[in-house]
Amino acid sequence: MTDTLAQGYLSLSAILFTIGTIGVLARRNVLVVLMSVELILNAANLAFVGFGRLRGGPEAAAIVLFVIVVAAIEAAVGLAIVVALFRGRGTTRLDEINLLRG
Amino acid sequence: METLLAHLLTVLILLPVLGSLVIAYLPGTRPRLIWRAALVVSMAELLVSLALIQFQPVGGAASLQLTERCDWIPAWGIQYLVGVDGFSIYLILLTTLLTPIVLLASQRSIRSHIKAFTICFLVLETGIVGSLSSLDLFLFYLFWEIMLLPMFLIIGVWGGPSRIYAAVKFILYTMIGSLLMLVAILYLAHRHWTLSQPQVWTFNVLELYNTPLEPTEQLWLFAAFALAFAIKVPLFPFHTWLPDAHTEAPTGGSVILAAVLLKLGGYGFLRFALPLFPAAAAAFAPLLMLLGVTGILYGALVSWKQEDMKRLVAFSSVSHLGFAMLGIASATVAGIQGAMFVMLAHGLSTGGLFLLVGMLYERRHTRMMEDYGGLMAVVPNMSWVLRLLTFASVGLPGLCGFVGEFLVLLGASQNEGWGRPAAVVAAFGMIVSALYMLHMFGRVMHGEVVHQENRTLADMDLYEFGYLSPVLILVFVLGLFPGWILPRVGTAAERVVECVGTARRYRLEAMDSHGNFVYSMPVRLYESVPDLRQGGER
Amino acid sequence: MNVFVSNDLWLIPLIPFVVGFAIGLFGRYVQQFWSGFAACLAMLASLVYSIKAVFLLASTPADVVHVKQHVWTWMTSGGLTIDFSLVVDQLTAVMILIVTGVGFLIHYYSLGYMEHDHDSPRFFCQLNLFAGFMLLLVMASNLLVMFVGWEGVGACSYLLIGFYFKESEKAAAGQKAFLVNRIGDVFFVLGVLLLLYGLAQAGLAPTLEFAQIKAGAGALEDQRLALSWGTAAGAGSPLVEPTSVGLVTMVCLLLFVGATGKSAQIPLFVWLPDAMAGPTPVSALIHAATMVTAGVYMVCRLHFLFVMSPTAMAVIAWVGALTALMAGVIGLAQRDIKRVLAYSTISQLGYMFLAAGVGAFAAAIFHLLTHAFFKALLFLGAGSVIHGLKGEQDIFKMGGLRTKLPVTHLTFVVGALAIAGVPPLAGFFSKDLILYHAYSSRLGSPGLYLIALITAVLTAFYMFRMVTLVFWGESRVDRAVKKHIHESPPSMTITLMFLAVLSAMAGFLNLPKILKGSEWFDTVLHPVFARVHVLGAPDHRLEGVLMLVSILVAVIGVTMTTLFYLSPRKDEALEELEVTWVYRAIYRKFAIDELYALIVVCPLSAFSRFLKDAFDGALIDRTLVNGPPRLLKIAGRFLSEFQSGDVQRYLLLLTLGMAAIVVYLIKTL
């Protein structure tokens, strides 16, 4: 019973992760990419929760809380960068931002 | 006074760099003050260095004098060890003489970043004097690299239109050579560590002279050292950084580059490459002579076809230093004396030529010969000076150029290997040298004035004549009284000759008995040297 | 062997040096007259000291070889010490008297000649420096100090030929002179080096002092030089290689090539005709009386080496004879008054070398002396003509100047008679002596004599062609110039008269025994050349016969030429002649300049350009030096494609890479 539940968590996590990855790789809008990153993080959270349920114990929950905090910070910093980028370059399309081109 | 004399070399090394520290804190808004301060420092350096004239040559093992020694990084045997002999004192004097001259000459043409400019020249002076007096390989390498940076900046910041290209080429080219030399230095020190009983680390060149090295090892190490020095000389075909660097550098930079920096190459051969690896030096001698002789003719012929006066003088340097290289490679006393003399004479005549071209450039902002012509009627004094320097450069006897060339040819003709054919070919370089110098003089000074702008050129004024006059006077003095210099160079040369000569004889014997290139190194020439007067530790 | 020490010798070259430098530095800031005055005074002082030195030499006991002054030690290297020291022996005595004496006269003449040239300080400075170097050359006690003078006079000649620097051609003539001289000088240096090598091989101490070389010369006799690279077979070597030459021969030949440069002999004579671009006094002093004789002096100074090598002597004699002939022939057809004289100088120098080559060194020096007088006279006379005609130099645009320039005319004819060898003028005696030795010496031959005799005819011809065309017959002067023809100022004419007297009388210094003379000049030089034994025993009958032949040849030559050029039909005859190819070849100087340009200068120039552009520029610099960095740059540009700046592409690659690793791990585990 618990196995199937855990499998469910993990499957959902995998699906979320894949969607997130594709979003990061394929979408051109920085905001969408950032949201996809959130999806990936949440997929990871879900995987933690799933494994935590399998193993028992509080560590997984602690890490998940930790990740949520980091994700929040990341969103804050990331959005700030996006705003700055938009002000500076007038675009939020990723393929138009290649300042580090060699 | 006593202390000053005991630590003369240290004072000479540190004075310019300390002076440059002071200048760094002067207000940048007062250029005259900065020029004056730099001049005071360099003149003080010149005055102190004049104490070197009292140097008396000592033959035998203690030929290096004014030595000072103290430990620096004891764990690796790295020391602060300095000393001079006949090879270094005149080059040091040339450096300390030319630095104030160059500062005086630059005062009118350099308008930006004056503080940095003077600091560069003073640091450069420290680097040169340090390289010329270091007897510890690590210390030598340090000063050797210190020389590069100010020169890089001088070319790159105050140079001509394609200064960046020239500066980068200069530094990369020189670095490639010196990095190989660094590897060789480390190998050599390590080898000494493995061979010595008990095992000690040392970079003291006087100790390393005695390290017995396998012949193949010697060949590789010599090649690494020789490459670094050959680039500096510059020996054909490693010369192409020179025309660019000379052409793009500001007048002062060209003067110091030609007059002093190039000489470090020849000095390196005499102080390090030859006595450290005598057997390899003997083996490489034909190649070095070949390249030297090629350089003489090649530099001269290429110089003949130049349109740019500075490039012409740059290629003439290749030709002149080919003579120096021939003399060094001949490994005879006369040849080495001649090589040193060629280097000193070239320092004066070419330095003077660059100063003069600089004066013309200041007036007309062009270095192309086609933009001049007929100047003799407009600037008679300048034409006299150019004529004198031309004659000195082509080696007219009685002026400084001839003594060196003659002694080099004499030395080469005493060399038993390929020296004689080399001397014959090199002698013909004297014809071509006359060809290109007279060609330049003719194109700039003879004929009618064709460009209107040239009709109103100002002749040399007293200021310009003033800073050029020491050079002009020395051109005569060196030509007429070489006896002041030659014996001191001679005693130093005798040691090197003995060293290489022993190795060569040994090689010939080995080849007689085995028929191939097999020998070990029995030469222990500077054996009794370690008991140096340890000035640094008193 | 005794040596007398004097402390005044160095003043002889030093005074002109110091005054020359002073004029160079300050001459432009004082009145023009003073530079010329100072220069003349310097020469006069030098002349006085020379006379003093000569009297000192004459008053020394018979066993004194020379008067010497050690000034300072110039350089030492290994065992070789080279002193800056000066000597005066009989040979030097003759030379310093010529240099200072004729030199002073020409300086004095120049006062008038350069009167209107505002650049005269430069002229007098260089002329004085030249005199200093020339004196150093002849007074040097060793080869290297001689070389100082040797190159110094070359440099001054370069400066003075290019005196009118505004005309590029004249300046270029100076450069040409210097470069051709340099070629000779290099051989001189090589000769010196080979001599040092030979001394070392013979086990003697290295030295370049003439006296010491003379003392050790015997030991060099057997030295041989293998003509292969690197090694040389020493004396007594059992296997003397077939391709070896005598070392002394080689030394002598190398030094002689040096002499051909300075003294304008085949093959290095091409600079002298062009050198006429300089002011005329310069041509008189440097390119007639003194500098060009330096080669002859050097051979005579080193006669002890040269006589050891019959090969070298033969080469010298034949080169001298052929040069004399060739220059004489070219001189026949020249139109420029100074060029005729230039070729005549080359020809007469050929005579001197011929004399030296057959071992008649005293005769060579005697001809050098008389030639200095009459050729200086002729050049100065030509200068006077040019001065009077406002720069006209074409002899076909002169004529009939006899009445307009009486002094010049008279003295010029004296000079021409002297050089043509008409007795009893100076040239007759000296040339006759050479002809006699060319025939009678053990090294001489009828062939040499014949060439010399033909040259004598040619000399008479071209000189009197010139005299007739310039001074006699009807005037062909341009009308514009005609009005202004004037005799030269006194300083010039006085000099001419002085030299005319010398040219007329100098022959009596060496009146031959068959004319009841004492051969005084020979006797004077005897101590120097005493050891030369190649000359045959005196044969007075032969001498008499040859002398009559010479007189006949000279007189016939002079008369025929004069008659031909005065005859009214000469123009037609000349027109016919001028279309023949022989005449044109002679007029074009056998195209030797063009030949040298074609085989030496042009290839060298093209080669240098190739080296500069293709070899140095394209190959070494752009390919070998800048090639590797460029390759790196291309590689970098290729690799930097991956650094696109596109975050998503990075991530894609990252993901794919991760996936690959995971797949790999799963497969292998």
- Residue in A25, A26, A101 closest to C644 by CB: A101
Q: How far is the alpha carbon of A33 from chain C, nearest alpha carbon, in Å?
A: 9
Give the contacts of A1 (CB within 8 A, at least 6 positions apart): none
Which pair of structure tokens corresponds to residue C18? Answer: 């110091």
Chains with ≥3 Cβ pairs under 8 A against A?
C
Report d(CA C20, CA C293) in Å as an integer: 22
Report whether pLDDT(B527) > 60.
no
Question: C-alpha distances in angstroms, C562 versus C268, C460, C557?
Answer: 33, 10, 8
Residue B78 phi, psi dihedral angles, 5° rounding: -85, 130
What does the pLDDT average to over B43-61? 81
- Using one digit for the tens of pLDDT, what is the confidence trace for B355-404? 999 999 989 888 899 899 889 889 989 999 999 999 999 999 989 999 99
Helix axes C143-161, C247-262, angle to 10 degrees: 20
d(CA C138, CA C66): 13
**A&C contacts, CB < 8 Å:** 34
Cα separation, B338 vs B332, whole angstroms: 10
C638 in contact with A, Cβ within 8 Å: no
Q: Best interface-test mutation with A: which of C648, C649, C653, C656 has the largest number of A CBs within 10 A? A: C648
Q: Taking residues B232-243, what's their average pLDDT?
A: 90
Contact C647 A94 (CB under 8 A): yes
More confident residue, B88 or C480: B88
Touching chains A and C? (3+ Cβ pairs < 8 A): yes
For chain B, the domains span 1-55+67-276, 277-515
Whether B518 shows a pLDDT value over 60: the answer reads no
Chain C segment 204-233 residues within 8 A of B by beta carbon are 229-230
CB C375 within 8 A of CB C352: no
pLDDT confidence bin for B328, thresholds 50/70/90 = very high
Q: What are phi and psi of C539, to 5 degrees?
A: -125, 100
Helix (H, G, I), strand (E, B) or coil at C451: helix
Looking at the predicted structure, is the pLDDT value of residue B451 above 90?
no
Distance CA B430, CA C156 (A): 18
ipTM: 0.90
Beta bridge partners of B368: B308
What tens digit of pLDDT does each residue of B405-422 get?
999 999 999 888 788 889
* C155 in B contact zone (CB under 8 Å): yes
Q: Over 80: is that where the pLDDT of B531 sits?
A: no
Instruction: Answer yes or no: is pLDDT of B460 > 50.
Output: yes
CB-CB under 8 Å, C229 with B420? yes
C640 touching A (Cβ < 8 Å): yes
List, in order, residues 6 or more apart from C162 with CB less than 8 Å away.
B446, C170, C171, C172, C173, C174, C175, C277, C278
- The pLDDT, as a whole number, for residue C237 is 46
Contact B24, B41 (CB under 8 A): no
Which chain B residue lies closest to C229 (C-alpha atoms)?
B421
- Asked whether the CA dihedral C543, C545, C549, C554 is positive or negative, the reply is positive
Instruction: Tell me, yes or no, if C471 comes closer than 8 A to chain B by beta carbon.
Output: no
Asked if pLDDT for residue B513 goes beyond 60, the answer is: no
Q: Is the dihedral of CA B373, B378, B379, B381 positive or negative?
A: positive
Low-confidence residues of chain A: pLDDT under 50: none
| Contact status, residue B246 vs residue B318, Cβ threshold 8 Å | no
Percent of chain C at pLDDT exceeding 70: 97
If residue B161 lies in a helix (H) or strand (E), which one and from where to where?
A: none
Q: Which residues of B touch C196 (CB under 8 A)?
A: 410, 413
Q: What is the mean pLDDT of residues B245-266?
A: 93
User: Is C648–A99 a contact, with Cβ atoms under 8 angstroms apart?
Assistant: no
* Interface touch A25/C655, C-beta < 8 Å: yes
Which pLDDT belongs to residue A99?
Answer: 75
Q: How many other C-beta atoms can be found within 10 angstroms of the C-beta atom of residue B194?
A: 8
Q: Which residue bears the tokens 């007398």?
A: C4
Chain B partners within 8 Å of C620 (Cβ): 237, 240
Determine contact, residues B269/B228, Cβ cutoff 8 Å.
no
Contact residues on chain C for B304, CB-CB shorter than 8 A: 605, 608
User: Could you say which DSSP state residue C277 is in?
Assistant: G
Question: Which helix (H) or strand (E) segment is B438 a member of?
Answer: helix B419-445
pLDDT at B528 over 60: no
Name C87's bridge partners: C68
Residue B502's pLDDT band (cuts 50, 70, 90): confident
Question: Is it the case that chain B and chain A have 3 or more CB pairs lying under 8 Å apart?
Answer: no
In chain C, where the domains are located: 592-668
B448, burial (CB in 10 Å: exposed 0-12, middle 13-18, buried 19+): exposed
Q: Given this model, what pLDDT does residue B1 score?
A: 66
Q: Which of C72, C185, C620 sits opposite B237 (nearest CB)?
A: C620
- Taking CB atoms and an 8 Å limit, are C645 and A97 in contact across chains? yes
pLDDT > 70 in chain B, percent: 92
C22 in contact with chain B, both atoms CB, cutoff 8 A: no
Instruction: Chain B: list its partners (3+ Cβ pairs within 8 Å).
Output: C
Collect all residues with Cβ–Cβ distance below 8 Å to C403 and sequence separation of at least 6. Answer: none
Helix (H) or strand (E) holding A97: none
Secondary structure element (H or E) that encloses residue C225, with its range: strand C224-226
Nearest to A21 among C640, C643, C655 (CB): C655
Does C193 reach chain B within 8 Å, measured CB to CB? Answer: yes
Q: How far C634 CA lies from chain A's nearest CA (Å)?
A: 13
Lowest mean pLDDT among A36-45, B198-207, B442-451, C36-45: B198-207
In this structure, what token pair is assigned to residue C586? 């002679």
Q: Do A101 and C652 touch (CB under 8 A)?
A: no
**Chain C closest-CA separation from residue A67 CA (Å):** 21
Give the angle C23-C26-C30 at the CA atoms, nearest 5°. Answer: 100
Count CA within 13 A, CB hemisphere, residue C4. 20
Specify whether the CB–CB gap between B505 and B279 falls below 8 A: no
Q: In the prediction, which pLDDT does B60 show? A: 60
Residue-level pLDDT at B61: 57
CB contact under 8 A, C151 and B410: no
Domains and CATH numbers, chain A: 4-96 (1.10.287.3510)
**Which residues of chain C have a pLDDT value below 70?**
1, 227-243
Mean pLDDT of B82-90: 88
Q: For residue C145, report the phi and psi dihedrals to the nearest 5 degrees.
A: -65, -35
Q: Do chains B and C touch (3 or more CB pairs under 8 A)?
A: yes
Bridge partners of B478, per DSSP, are none
| CB-based contacts of C160, cutoff 8 Å, min separation 6 | C123, C126, C127, C130, C174, C278, C279, C282, C286
CB B342 within 8 A of CB B325: no
Length of chain C: 669
Confidence of residue B526 (pLDDT cuts 50, 70, 90): very low
- Assess whether pLDDT exceeds 50 at residue B289: yes
Predicted local confidence at residue B295, as pLDDT: 94
